[in-house]
Structure 1
Amino acid sequence: MTQVRTLWQRRHEDRGSEAIQAAIITPLLIMFLCMAIAAGRLVTSGSKIDAAAEDAARAASISRTGPAAQEAAHAAAEESLTDEGISCAGTSVSVDTSGLNVPVGQVGTVTVTVRCTVGLSDLLLPGTPGSRTLESSFTSVVDQYRQRGA
């Protein structure tokens, strides 16, 4: 009889332990979920920024002059980011058009670098920065037998 009573007492002494365990584990699970969402957002945004850099470099490489290449690259990058659904807090596009100045018959390249600041502040995760700047570069070859502008 005493064994039955002690088992019954032990079982009732653990009341509330599940609530305490849930109170400890729930915030950790929420933080893990927010970290997974932040990592996913950064990876997805990075691949979309890569695509924007590729589009911008290709648009710049088919231009005949440096200023036209700059304009084409900026327009292509903005259009690509908009089409991909990326909303950057800040965007910058830098274009190296030195490959457009090489003589006909020689291979030239145009390099475009796209920088985009992706916001993370809406995740409400303690310790994460409010935003992160992602950068991608792409180089496109200029047709060596194409006429170039002056």
Structure 2
Amino acid sequence: MELTLLVPALVLVLGLLVAGGRLWFARTTVAEAAQTGARAASLARSPRVAASDGRDAAEASLATAGLRCGTTSVQIRTAAFGVPVGTPATVTSRVDCRVPLGDVALPGLPGSIALTATGAAALDTYRSR
């Protein structure tokens, strides 16, 4: 008798743990992609190349992790390339990813969740820009 009451509760708790873990993985993946994009952009020599390299690196990071976004937006801010050499400057990135709940929690679950992360990486202070 007690087992018939306990098993559904344990299955529900287990399902919630799995869904929470998958949501944590998705958030961590988006944060890592933002940081990867900023780092790749900080290694470039010009703002145009930095924006392209950063965007490509962030999108590759999402793809490598296996996170499927319904919509993805990667923005690289390269204003730091306009700062004079010898002055500290930072390149930033922002990754927005709308993940279907069916991929994160339960298959077939309608809706989606918007995940956003930012990353930053310093430009080499004494490198020519």
Please give the TM-score of this superposition, normalised by the length of structure 1: 0.73
Distance 1:143 1:124 in 2: 46
CA change 1:71–1:46 in 2 (3 A) is: same
1:27 CA displacement: 4.5
Deviations 1:92-143 (A, max 9, x none): 1111111111011111110111112222235169xx7622111111110011
Structure 1 partner of 2:97: 116
Count of matched residue pairs? 127
Residues 38 and 120 of structure 1 are in contact (CA less than 8 Å); yes or no, is this contact kept in structure 2? no
Gaps of 5+ in 2: none
1:84 CA displacement: 1.4
Identity %: 38
Residues 95 and 113 of structure 1 are in contact (CA less than 8 Å); yes or no, is this contact kept in structure 2? yes
Structure 1 partner of 2:31: 50
* Correspondence 1:1-150 to 2 at 5 A: 18=1, 22=4, 25-121=6-102, 123=106, 130-148=111-129
* Greater Cα offset, 31-40 or 107-116: 31-40
Based on CA coordinates, which of the two structures has the bigger radius of gyration?
1
Gaps of 5+ in 1: 1-17
Deviations 1:32-79 (A, max 9, x none): 333222211111112222221111101111122222111111100111
Letter of the aligned partner of 1:55 in structure 2?
Answer: T
Distance 1:55 1:124 in 2: 29
Distance 1:34 1:124 in 2: 12
Please give the TM-score of this superposition, normalised by the length of structure 2: 0.84
Distance 1:33 1:78 in 2: 32
Moved segments of 4+, more than 3 Å: 24-31
SS in 1 for 2:62: helix
* Higher relative contact order, structure no. (Cα contacts within 8 Å, ≥ 6 residues apart): 2
